[in-house]
Amino acid sequence: MSPYRRCLAVCLLVLAGCKAQYFHAETEVSPDGSIARAILQPKGSTPKAAQDSESWDTAGWTSEKSFADFEGGIREMKLSETGSDYFAAWCRSKSATDLPDHYVRLAIDECFSSHFERQFKRRDLGLLTEFTWRETLTDVVTLEEFRKARAEGIDLLCEIVALTLNTGLGEEYDASKLMAWFRNEGTAFVLGITDLFYEFGRASAESIDDDSRSTAFQKRFFEICQQHGFGEIFNDEDSLEEKLVRRVATEIIRENVVRRDGEALGEEVIHGLLGAAGLSSDHEKLPIAKALLKEWKLVINKRDGGKEAFETQAKNIVSRIEGVHGGFLPVSTEQFRFVMTSPGSIVQTNGELLADDRVRWQFRGADAWPSGFTMIGRSLLDESGAVDELSDGREGLSRGAMIRLYDLATEDERVIDVLKKCKSDGQLAPLRNLAEASDDENLAVLSRKVLSLLTTLGGE
């Protein structure tokens, strides 16, 4: 963790060290488009309105369930009326928009919040029905605001650090070169690393190859470190913190903080600066570290508005960088397990298939940084059994045949209209008529392809 990020984390009391919280949700989509949802999540993270909502058919309390300990379905659990730490509930709604808003999380400055946004679409394609589910755990970080807040944070940090060092180190030391390094090389390093985090944060919600993404991230991280003279931190097996403290931070301090009398800088001063910056817990109680931390507080209190104004400003900066879930540091304690069952066969998803019609997403709150984590599931339901000649002697359309039928039918809305007519009539005559008698040759060719697909056993 860079000194900049470490300082933000310490000053703003972000969520590091909190106990993990487990959020379970099970969603069942019915062929008629109605939605059933069951939830199991921490009481303290469930809005009071959701706990008291009359939308739930059943609601109650139970003990914590980690993902490893969870067996069966939420609806199978025995609930108590009061008491326990976790809230469980389930209901069936006519639409996704009618489901209770069972999750809201405020940003550190409480100026914005995260919740789940749901989009559901049921589309009648005649001999297929398409179901598309999108549910997003929102976050609100944008690249423009991220960079503005980052610049404000660097300015704020440099302002307070400079004043702290000027008085806290005493007249015998000169830290002006260190502040110049912060403003130039140090800032350039922070800009490169934080842009990298933003870029890969955006990509994480769409990636299914974590190993490949991690390798690419490490390669880019290494390149940036090398550009700024930090490549040596990868040259041995020490922890990253040890390398930052012993190899990088120590050398930066040694080269840029000097004694005015020309004598060599003492190890106690170096260690005290490391302790004051939160980079070395072994040195946080040294006299110099304590003096610098005391001076830090005095500098903040002397600013316009004092400590309260500083905390408000700092929280605003961090909210625009960190978002709601702490994905940049990251310090998120939230763990999500969402399972969806959809009619027919799932043909597209960014989750893990548990069965032909069932998909699971497991992710952290931090995965929503910077602009949201979206769960996508799309399924196709075979309706060809409604046609008499397609219902006898065959098991129905295979997954591949359904995808092929979807591709063909959606090329022309007129084909969909005819397939709807075939379904209502229970026969393929409307499609045959279109294939044989249409004045539009392209439409006739397309209709013949659909007819051939439907009448070929197996449909591959």
Confidence of residue 374 (pLDDT cuts 50, 70, 90): very high
Give the pLDDT band of residue 200 (cuts 50, 70, 90): confident
pLDDT band at 415 (very low <50, low <70, confident <90, very high): very high
Instruction: Report the mean per-residue pLDDT for the chain.
Output: 87
Q: Higher-confidence residue: 228 or 441?
A: 441
Lowest mean pLDDT among 132-146, 164-178, 204-218: 204-218
Q: What percent of the chain has pLDDT over 70?
A: 88
Each residue's pLDDT tens digit, 246-305: 677 888 899 999 999 999 899 999 999 989 988 888 888 999 999 999 999 999 999 999
Q: Please say if the pLDDT value at position 203 is more than 50.
A: yes
Return the pLDDT at 14: 35
Closest by CA to 415, choosing from 386, 381, 440, is 440
Residue 64: predicted pLDDT: 82
pLDDT value for 460: 41
Q: Is the pLDDT of residue 217 over 90?
A: no
CA distance 233 to 341: 47
Least confident stretch, 75-89, 308-322, 409-423, 433-447? 75-89
Residue 40, pLDDT above cutoff 70: yes
Specify the pLDDT at position 50: 92
- Dist CA 27 CA 39 (whole Å): 9
Going by pLDDT thresholds of 50, 70 and 90, the confidence category of residue 396 is: confident
CB-CB contact of 443 with 414 (8 Å): yes
Instruction: Give the DSSP per-residue string, 413-439.
Output: HHHHHHHHHHHHHTSSHHHHHHHHH-S
pLDDT at 150 > cutoff 80: yes
Does an H or E element contain 61, and which?
strand 58-62
**Contacts with 107 (C-beta within 8 Å, 6 or more apart), sequence order:** 113, 114, 140, 319, 322, 323, 324
Per-residue tokens: 131: 């179901």
Rounded average pLDDT over 88-95? 94
Of residues 233 and 27, more confidence is placed in: 27
pLDDT for 389:
87
- Output the pLDDT for position 11: 37
Kindly tell me if the per-residue pLDDT of 136 is higher than 80.
yes
pLDDT of the residue at 439: 92
Structure confidence at residue 277 (pLDDT):
87
pLDDT at 208: 55
Q: What is the Cα–Cα distance from 4 to 2, expressed in whole angstroms?
A: 5
d(CA 125, CA 415): 9
CA atoms of 336 and 108, how far apart (whole Å): 20
Q: Which of 61-75, 246-260, 412-426 has the highest mean pLDDT?
A: 412-426
pLDDT of residue 307 exceeding 90, the answer is: yes
Give the residue carrying structure tokens 């197996």. Answer: 458
pLDDT value of residue 219: 87
